[in-house]
Structure 1
Amino acid sequence: MSSENKSYEDFLKWKSYANWIIPSEPLLEVKSLNPLCGDEVKLYYQITEKKTIQIKAVSGDSCSICAAAVGFLFKNQSLIQYEFIGSYGIERKKFLEGNESSLFGDLEEISFLRIVRTHSSRHRCALLPWQTLEKIIEVKK
């Protein structure tokens, strides 16, 4: 199996970490669009009593890289603290630019980001879910 096919299979596995079924329950939602490629990410979430964010589901039409990143956002979030929302995307961006990060320790996500790191034109695809998460702060205001 070629490494390209293996990467694509991994991307599909990573995408599957998210709940892609649009919920029937009323939830808050936020959406982002990458105008360069057309990737779209929508997050369905709720704010808990402890003022944390819980992502319940995702939707959107995007490339395999963006969809895999959505999977990691969904998988690695338990209850997201407002004060850390900005740092999630920043740390991943630093990693893609060649700097190691201690913010997250998911070895699968690190493997994913190392693959994407070699394709600078696709960094925006991998960061779009995290930028969508940051929009929750804007919506909250």
Structure 2
Amino acid sequence: MNKLFAATATALLLAFGEPASACETVNVFVEGDNVSVEVICPPDVPSPAPYAAQDVAGWVYLGSNWNGWEKQNFAWSGYFPSIGAAITAVTDVNIRGDYNKPDPWTGVRQNAQKIGLARQGQTFFVEEVVDAGSGHYWALVY
């Protein structure tokens, strides 16, 4: 990951409309479309709660399943999440405007535009599940 910038925690949290924190520094890292945030606090100051994701409905990558789940970005009960099921992010996951589909002109698969971020531990509800091909599963969540 490449470090994008560092700022005081107070300045960054206030910029996002969050309460100020006594923590010292926030580092923001970017790798492709993925962004992660590291908050550095003195030992006597509790870390702030994870930044709440936007209230946005969209598509998330559940993971890959060929002969069992090799990669799984969400936890749920059962083998596949059912419609209406609650799923919880086990890592930060991009929320996209659509699932990964081949470009109609070139046939090359492309990710749709990122419209939000599901934070680790955040729970969503499933509206639809699709196999985008080759065992790559996506869910429309809200």
Q: Which has the higher contact order (CA 8 A, sep 6+)?
A: 1
Give your verdict on TM over 0.5: no
Task: Name the one with the larger strand percent.
Answer: 2
Task: Name the one with the larger helix percent.
Answer: 1
Q: Give the TM interval when normalised to the shorter protein.
A: under 0.3
Normalised to the residue count of structure 1, the TM-score between the two structures is 0.25
Compare CA radii of gyration and give the structure with the larger one.
Answer: 2
